[in-house]
Amino acid sequence: MCTSPDHSTFIINGFKNKYYVGEELQATIVAKDFTGRPKSYGGDFFQAKAFSNELKASVFGEVLDHQNGTYMARFILPWAGEALVAVRLIHSSEAVQVIKRQRDAHNHRVDFVGHFEGKNLQGAKVEEKVACNVKWEGVAMPGEGDCCCEYPDVHTRLTWLCRKPPTLPCNTLVYYNLGSFGIVMKDLDYKIMQK
């Protein structure tokens, strides 16, 4: 049974009324299914953040999967003042498996867009968008060679490839987002993704 965002819970470990700037805050997340039963395996994609509406500040925490249906979120508190904690289920472990199967079997059907910003020789702001994707062993972007900028991520051990923008250098990448996703799913996979 899929992980339910409505039934999953989290608690602050060793909650205190007062924390200090730079102190670590930990929270335990318990994944539960749609019947409210705790899950016995991991693989869910949770996102956790500490934030302050008053300061308009936020920091994302690191989420560690214990592979038993529980997760630990860790934050370093970077500001003085009130902090709230929010945990969001991005994808259930079942949806993650669907995405992995899609990536492995149909990685050429998922495209991302890299957004680059900089200034031209006259000092005017320039924004350029180019195709990006994860660099997979044995899979090449069409026309790959000296065409691309590479962005290794030490945390995920993946490398992103973006086509070189027409005029801006590779170091002007601001962010990338999903461009298109060509769906090739079985009926059950589609149902899982809809939940």
Tally of CB atoms within 10 A around 163: 19
Domain residue ranges in the chain: 9-91, 100-194
Tally of CB atoms within 10 A around 62: 11
Q: What is the pLDDT of residues 27-44, one digit of tens each?
A: 999 999 999 999 999 999
CATH number, domain 9-91, options 3.40.710.10, 2.60.40.10, 3.30.379.10, 3.40.50.2300: 2.60.40.10
List, edge to edge, every strand of the sheet that includes 24-30: 9-12, 24-30, 70-76, 62-65
Q: What is the pLDDT of residues 71-117, one digit of tens each?
A: 999 999 999 999 999 999 988 888 878 767 766 665 556 678 899 99
Question: pTM (2 decimals)?
Answer: 0.57
Amino acid occupying residue 27 = A
